[in-house]
Structure 1
């Protein structure tokens, strides 16, 4: 889909096509580093590139709000921890709906960083949209290895909102 979007953009907006291809390249490079350490700011940038790519497909249907601290902490997280959660939110929450508002929040406490990502649950999702939880399971495995079982990834559905809560410890065991 992303390649088709970039190909279509070449017909009427060369600069947008170039940005789409660069965003796709960044995602491809990240896939090769999956699970390896990446700075949080770089993971967030990757997420923003992904969303920019999808905005060319979904236009106004895709709304995303970021509630992040003014300055992100200088921490490492496993590459492709947050981006696949946002990708799932687009796939399951935006694509089948008329409008999809995704929210990404980050909170800090003395012991942990908490990310909460929410998206709508479409009232009538086509049966082909039911997932097998593979992306979330892969993230859980990366977190378990990276944080020695001290990180958490939980999901809930309440009031037609799918919520992912990611908690990572401030101190990472060596």
Structure 2
């Protein structure tokens, strides 16, 4: 049984978990699922044990009381020992958890035997059956937890690779457009070209520095503002930007360069093809436990010619968003009244909360 240094929690939402495979039994949901599973097992035993009718309710009640108390106390002990258990290897954790459960079952078996038959000698065979059954179930449960944990690690590794690939597809497109804009300004407006280079360098510095980590919404909006400053040099008066922002959402957590591809998409599909340009509206608001971010632009006229590129950009952003922030994150788009709207729904979560 070997000890390891206690793992630190990474600030990267996609950072791979440690090899500690036991679920967090300090969470109500985990304990509830454990109780529900054991209760279904007791129900099955009561059905098999019934000599008359479909189920032996007396047997079901007694066994349920014993099993639920055993599960609750074992979960509480494992919860209390969790920080200490994280220092051990997988075999060490398995041995300790199994020992805790067996000791708990043994204690409750002796107690129940004394309560049901006071003054009578202990029944070692019945107690031994309880301990043996607990050993088999515990080993099977730990094996399931381990396999589930390995599957989760594999999914995280695959998702990290996918996110990296998505970022590699987004960044060159942005770089290509930006460099074309700067090149067109070098001979005619060198001062503005220099400002654009500085804006571009800040955008990529922020992107490389944060990588997959979450950043405050205020920083993401600042990145969008720098990008729009570059595009405004190319489009001039054809581009108008309208901001409708809730200042209380400045600390909302968001993956870096999430809004920028949507703003770029809005310019490419909604503003650039129009001789007179158009207006892009960027809005943020909070409703309950969710934060909504909207990017609006004039609806494209030539839908078929630009539909595929628009769809790919949205799918890339949606996949990256779900990979980093979870299934509660939603990206959808709609069109009506001459406007095309992309809406992001994020769970309300500040950057300080994600780092703890």
**TM-score in same-fold range (> 0.5):** yes
Q: 1:90 aligns with which of 267, 270, 292?
A: 267
**Greater relative contact order (Cα < 8 A, sep 6+):** 1
Aligned to 2:326: 148
Length-normalised TM-score, structure 1: 0.87
State the shift of 1:125 in Å: 5.7
User: Which residues of structure 2 form unaligned runs of 5+?
Assistant: 1-176
Q: 2:314 aligns with which of 104, 115, 136?
A: 136
CA distance in structure 2 between the partners assigned to 1:126 and 1:20 by the alignment = 33
Measured on the aligned residues, the alpha-carbon RMSD in Å equals 2.2
Aligned length: 173
> Is the CA contact (8 Å cut-off) linking 1:85 and 1:117 kept in structure 2?
yes
CA distance in structure 2 between the partners assigned to 1:142 and 1:96 by the alignment = 28
Q: Relative to 1, partners in 2 of residues 1:71 and 1:92: Cα closer, same or farther, differing over 3 Å? A: same
User: Which residues of structure 1 form unaligned runs of 5+?
Assistant: none
Q: Which has the higher strand share?
A: 1
Larger Rg belongs to: 2
State the shift of 1:148 in Å: 1.9
CA distance in structure 1 between the partners assigned to 2:238 and 2:316 by the alignment = 28
Aligned to 1:17: 193
Cα deviations by residue, 1:86-109 (Å, 9 ceiling, x for unpaired)? 000000001101221111111112
> Is the CA contact (8 Å cut-off) linking 1:94 and 1:100 kept in structure 2?
yes
State the shift of 1:25 in Å: 2.0
Aligned positions of 1:1-174 closer than 5 A:
1-32=177-208, 33=210, 35-98=212-275, 99-124=277-302, 127=305, 129-132=306-309, 133-171=311-349
State the shift of 1:39 in Å: 1.8
Length-normalised TM-score, structure 2: 0.45
> Is the CA contact (8 Å cut-off) linking 1:35 and 1:142 kept in structure 2?
no
Q: Which has the higher helix share?
A: 2
